[in-house]
């Protein structure tokens, strides 16, 4: 006969429960947004490719599903785009993970570009980057 110390029967269920809780916590984590510019520095006028990546969190994160996309170029120009989506279904609906936009910056300056995901008028996610545009030939930058 093999004897176990009292309470050892509870150890396995507690370990399993801890594993379930930690997995649930990871799946409920809010995704993050990173914004990259390519190139980040250049001479005016310059065409910049902006990429916003949604990282982490579950693929069916409800607040990011079918969100309105807003780009603020930091020069007074903003754009907003809303999608037409099927109603949200937990475990089935998938969020978009990448957004790409081209933008021409015609004047020298430092621009703080912001990317936002919105549900109605509420911002649910944001990311930003900074672009440096130097004077070009037409601005006297080459003389």
Domain boundaries, the chain: 30-139
> Is pLDDT of 10 > 50?
no
Q: What is the pTM of this model?
A: 0.77
Q: What is the pLDDT of residue 139?
A: 72
Residue 80, classified by CB atoms within 10 Å of its CB into exposed (0-12), middle (13-18) or buried (19+), is: exposed
Count of CB atoms situated within 10 Å of the CB of 91: 8
Average pLDDT, the chain: 85
Q: How does pLDDT run across 13-60, given as a tens digit for each residue?
A: 433 334 443 334 445 699 999 999 999 999 999 999 999 999 999 999
Q: What is the DSSP letter of 83?
A: -
Cα–Cα distance for residue pair 109/135, rounded to 1 Å: 8
Question: Which two tokens mark 60?
Answer: 């069916």
Q: What is the pLDDT of residue 18?
A: 41
Q: What is the pLDDT of residue 9?
A: 45
Q: What is the pLDDT of residue 110?
A: 98
- CATH H superfamily, domain 30-139: Immunoglobulins (2.60.40.10)
Given a contact cutoff of 8 angstroms between Cβ atoms, the answer to whether 43 and 24 are in contact is no
Chain position carrying tokens 């070009």: 136
Q: Where are the alpha helices (DSSP H) in 28-143?
A: none
Mean pLDDT of 94-116: 97
């Amino acid at each position: 006969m093999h004897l176990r110390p009292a309470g050892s029967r509870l150890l396995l269920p507690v370990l399993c429960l801890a594993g379930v809780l930690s997995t649930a916590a990871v799946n409920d984590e809010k995704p993050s947004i990173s914004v990259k510019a390519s190139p980040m520095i250049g001479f005016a006028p310059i065409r910049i490719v902006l990429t916003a990546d949604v990282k982490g969190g579950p693929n069916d994160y409800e607040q990011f599903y079918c969100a309105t996309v807003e780009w603020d170029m930091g020069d007074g120009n903003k754009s907003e785009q809303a999608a037409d989506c099927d109603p949200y279904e937990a475990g089935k609906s998938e969020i978009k993970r990448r957004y790409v936009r081209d933008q021409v910056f015609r004047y020298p300056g430092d621009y703080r570009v912001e990317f936002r995901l919105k549900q109605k008028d509420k911002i649910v996610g944001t990311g930003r980057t900074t672009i440096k545009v130097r004077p070009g030939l037409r601005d006297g930058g080459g003389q």
